[in-house]
């Protein structure tokens, strides 16, 4: 698979609103699914019985499953973390579950992912050194156990570097995990609230210590501008829910930055939201139509916006790859960052009432 690559997020075995063919048309080669979500619902054994994740979601492209480490530490309610594993409560129904590194691998093998991830412990970005160190050391212990548990020859297993925002821990983690020998190396626990300079600085500490010939994967990143910065620091794989999530809130990517399609400026615009875009949405509909769908809380709005944003990400990654091949990435990066205005604007979450209405209307 050509890299750098961006993986759309399909935690629950669906990239929200889209069918597999649309992902193909957009140029998507690999998606991320989440073992935590699928373990809780519909259950690993259900997916396995139905022929594995590819068949279940009718996707013949590649699938990377996250082990669920991050979700257990962010979504679930934690009961106890020991070297053995994590006791947690489901965010869906409060039921209690115990996961170990071995089980995490077993579940991902049963799901039939092409790439699986080790179980890791994620410390919050503002925790003290000792706490972060402890989480890192447990992540290392678990990585070893995952490697031992990993049996499926057709499945790659990636390690996850931790260490918070402490350069010495990041270096230590990268070096140690590299010594164990994985098929790929992820960098976890970044872009979780820390300042961006710190995110990038951690990459600079970590990436040079990872094997040159193995994929390097920055988990949960990100925005177009962060991806460009990540590529500049040697990252090959990215995943992030942001392009699809902000799409559903009406924020559409353009080469100049995110645009809020709900803005009145679009209410009569005959042109597509992005004139230079070749995606289905921009080829077919005016910005005014998309604006109308969002104002009317029509479900098609979320789908058309998702198609546009994933197409944008696909085109961004294509341009990045092209510029790397032609040796002009640095120029591309500077040009892109000069014209693209990042936004901190939190696109307003639509109220419960509107959703309910959209559902009720026939």
Query: Which is closer to its own copies, CB of 34 or CB of 165?
Result: 34
289 binds its own copies (CB under 8 A): yes
Strand, helix or coil at 299? Answer: helix
Contact by Cβ (8 Å): 10, 33? yes
295 binds its own copies (CB under 8 A): yes
Dihedral angle, C-alpha 142, 148, 154, 158, nearest 10 °: 30
Contact by Cβ (8 Å): 160, 182? no
Query: Which is closer to its own copies, CB of 139 or CB of 314?
Result: 314
Decide if 114 is catalytic.
no
Alpha helices (H) along 95-241:
101-111, 129-149, 167-180, 196-206, 224-232
Among residues 3, 90, 183, 286, the one that binds its own copies under rule CB under 8 A: 286
347 binds its own copies (CB under 8 A): no
Query: Which is closer to its own copies, CB of 325 or CB of 356?
Result: 356
> How many C-beta neighbours within 10 Å does residue 321 have?
16
How would you label 141-151 residue by residue, b for 16+ Cβ within 10 Å and e otherwise? ebbebbbebbe
The pattern of x and - marking residues 46 through 65 that bind its own copies according to CB under 8 A reads x--xxx----xxx-------
Of 162-170, 191-199, 263-271, 312-320, which segment contacts its own copies by CB under 8 A?
263-271
Query: Which is closer to its own copies, CB of 171 or CB of 295?
Result: 295
- Which of 137, 140, 133 minimizes the C-alpha distance to 160? 140
355 binds its own copies (CB under 8 A): yes
Decide if 239 is catalytic.
yes
- Which of 266, 281, 306, 294 minimizes the C-alpha distance to 358? 294
- Which of 254, 260, 251, 214 minimizes the C-alpha distance to 235? 214
Query: Which is closer to its own copies, CB of 45 or CB of 330?
Result: 45
19 binds its own copies (CB under 8 A): yes
| Residues catalogued as catalytic | 66, 239
Interacting residues with its own copies (CB under 8 A):
9, 11-14, 16-20, 37, 41-42, 46, 49-51, 56-58, 241-242, 244-245, 248, 267-268, 270, 280, 284-286, 288-289, 291-293, 295-296, 298-300, 302-304, 349-350, 352-353, 355-356, 358-362
């Amino acid at each position: 698979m050509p890299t750098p690559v961006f993986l759309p997020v399909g935690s629950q075995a669906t990239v929200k609103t889209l069918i597999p063919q649309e992902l193909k048309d957009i140029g998507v080669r690999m998606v991320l699914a989440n073992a935590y979500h699928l373990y809780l619902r519909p259950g690993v054994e259900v997916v396995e019985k139905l022929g594995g994740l590819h068949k279940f979601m009718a996707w013949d492209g590649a699938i990377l499953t996250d082990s669920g480490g991050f979700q257990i530490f962010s979504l679930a309610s934690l009961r106890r973390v020991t070297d053995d594993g994590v006791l947690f409560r489901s965010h869906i129904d409060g039921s209690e579950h115990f996961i170990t590194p071995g089980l995490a691998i077993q579940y991902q093998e049963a799901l039939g992912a092409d790439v699986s991830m080790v179980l890791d412990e994620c410390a919050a970005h503002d925790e003290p050194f000792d706490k972060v160190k402890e989480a890192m050391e447990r992540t290392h212990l678990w990585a070893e156990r995952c490697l031992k548990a990993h049996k499926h020859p057709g499945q790659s297993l990636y390690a996850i570097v931790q260490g918070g925002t402490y350069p010495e821990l990041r270096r230590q983690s990268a070096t140690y995990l590299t010594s164990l020998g994985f098929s790929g190396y992820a960098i976890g626990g970044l872009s979780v609230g820390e300042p961006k300079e710190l995110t990038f600085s951690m990459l600079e500490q970590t990436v040079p210590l990872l094997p040159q010939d193995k994929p390097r994967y920055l988990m949960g990143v990100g925005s177009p501008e962060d991806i460009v910065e990540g590529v500049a620091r040697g990252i090959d794989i990215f995943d992030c829910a942001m392009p699809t999530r902000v799409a559903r809130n009406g924020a559409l990517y353009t080469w100049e930055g995110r645009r809020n399609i709900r803005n009145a400026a679009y209410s009569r615009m005959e042109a597509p939201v992005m004139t230079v875009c070749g995606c289905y949405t921009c080829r077919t509909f005016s910005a005014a139509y998309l604006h109308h769908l969002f104002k009317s809380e029509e479900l098609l709005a979320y789908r058309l916006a998702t198609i546009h944003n994933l197409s944008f990400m696909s085109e961004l990654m294509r341009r990045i790859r092209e510029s790397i091949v032609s040796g002009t990435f640095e120029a591309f990066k500077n040009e892109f960052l000069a014209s693209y205005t990042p936004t901190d604007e939190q696109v307003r979450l639509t109220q419960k009432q509107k959703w309910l209405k959209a559902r009720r209307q026939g």
